Structure 1
Amino acid sequence: MQRQEGELEELGGVLGGSTAGALALGGRHKPEELSTLAANTRFSRKEIQLIYRGFKQECPTGLVDEEAFKQIFSQFFPQGDASQYAHYVFNTMKRKPSGKISFEEFLTILSKVSRGSVEEKLQWIFGLYDLDGDGLISKEEMLDVVGSIYEMLGRYTQPQIVEPHLAAREHVDRIFHLMDANKDGVVTIEELVQWCSKDEQLLRSLDTLDTVL
């Protein structure tokens, strides 16, 4: 049981929580068969059962909309405002016009980000920052996302950040031109991968499920 709890803590770290059960999301939706989910993700049957148990506890209907996702996500960052960052994360999961996430969709994204290759993790990060979905990250898009991260972290940053948006702009000003290899004012997925591949610390952070650039 202790080992299972440790696995849940590892899975929950992907999106900022302490356990996958707590991150689990809040008519009724019946998920696919366990064997199918295990075949389509990198989780074992036992892990999926544990994650689903938490999912159902927070979301009895089996589906979650953005507002419910924000409420759940914000529980882990009471020291700041996590609503905007949660909005960006939710958009990387949402695929249907209904605007709701099923357990299968949640599990698929979690599998890629926590157990996927470095390339898959970087693709998820790129999608997080590419707010308009045009295949490019502009400086303003990066500023919006980084700003939401500073807002979310609140007083837990060291040293404590008094003006999150100013700190976000300084951070983006410092790294954007380094990522934009051809200096055309936007970052492509290839430029992101190239920049990240040179940063050993960031690559190590991907292994520990820390997906904040």
Structure 2
Amino acid sequence: MSNIKRQELTKLTEKLMKRKECHFQKHEVERLIIMFCKLTGGCHEKLDRAKFRDILHKCFCMTDDMLMDRVFRSFDTDTDNYLSHEEWVIGLSIMLHGTYEEKCNFCFVAYDLNSDGWISREEMFQLLKNSILKQVSEEDQDENIKELVEIVLKKMDRDHDSRLSLQDFKGTVKEEPLLLEVLGPCLPNKPEHNLGPYS
């Protein structure tokens, strides 16, 4: 059972099962804690950004470096640049089985590049850079991205202050759920996920 004792595993599992953000069944939480211990060497160790990005790439087919870093930020609720076993389980729970509210918060944190509570034009520009095919000139490409940013703002900026608040984001996504990942894929797109060699 990896390097964690049954009694400790039970205690950690029960604690996590009491969290309202935990949408896993008991046996799934146990497996995720065991997986975390295998990845880090113990349940009281921390998971670093590089290993986490490797998991996102191999298990969820994520490839965008910026978005993988931002998904890490959505998991890292104490902002210490490492993930605890609790952040690992709760982050996966929200990412895979979260409520509408939880997924909106998760995506918003991922898109708020400077963590100031707003998604600005500049942040949208950075996030949308990889969504347009390369044009003949870089100048044309920048113009196309700026047009995309204006389209997103027109659709989502409900209070017309030229930036997106969490309230703007949630209100628009509630009306049009397909806009949840309008600024880039930060949630897995498959209904079933295989953590493969990590499980």
State the TM-score, normalized to the length of structure 1. Answer: 0.63
Q: Structure 1 residues 202 and 180, CA, compared in 2 at 3 Å: closer, same or farther? A: closer
Aligned pairs for 1:7-86 within 5 A: 33-40=12-19, 41-61=22-42, 62-75=45-58, 81-86=63-68
Gaps of 5+ in 2: 1-7, 181-186, 190-199
* Aligned amino acid, residue 163 of structure 1: K
Contact 1:70/1:82, CA 8 A, preserved across alignment: no
Question: Structure 1 residues 163, 59: CA separation in 2 closer, same or farther (over 3 Å shift)?
Answer: farther
Identity %, equivalent residues: 23
Aligned partners of 1:73 and 1:82 also within 8 Å:
no
- Structure number with greater CO (CA < 8 Å, separation at least 6) is 2
Alignment of 1:1-213 (within 5 A): 33-40=12-19, 41-61=22-42, 62-75=45-58, 81-96=63-78, 98-147=80-129, 150=131, 162-163=133-134, 166=141, 169=146, 171-202=148-179, 210=189
Task: Describe the shift of the 1:89–1:147 C-alpha distance in structure 2 as closer, same or farther (beyond 3 A).
Answer: farther
Q: Structure 1 residue 88: deviation in Å?
A: 1.0
What is the count of residue pairs matched by the alignment? 166
1:27-60 deviation per Cα after TM superposition (whole angstroms, max 9, x unaligned): xxx8762111122222111111222333333333
Distance in 2 separating the partners of 1:183 and 1:173: 12
Secondary structure (helix, strand or coil) at the match of 1:131 reads: coil
In 2, the alpha carbon distance for the partners of 1:197 and 1:84 equals 26
CA distance in 1, matches of 2:179, 2:134: 25
Q: Gaps spanning 5+ residues in structure 1: where? A: 1-29, 151-160
Task: Output the CA distance in 1 between the equivalents of 2:172 and 2:147.
Answer: 19
With 129-138 and 60-69 compared, the bigger mean Cα shift is at 60-69
Amino acid at match of 1:36: K
| Cα-to-partner distance string for 1:163-196 (whole Å, 9 max, x where unaligned) | 2994755543322221112321111111111211
Q: How far is 1:125 from its partner?
A: 1.3
Contact 2:47 2:84 in 1 (8 A): yes
Q: TM-score, normalised by structure 2?
A: 0.67
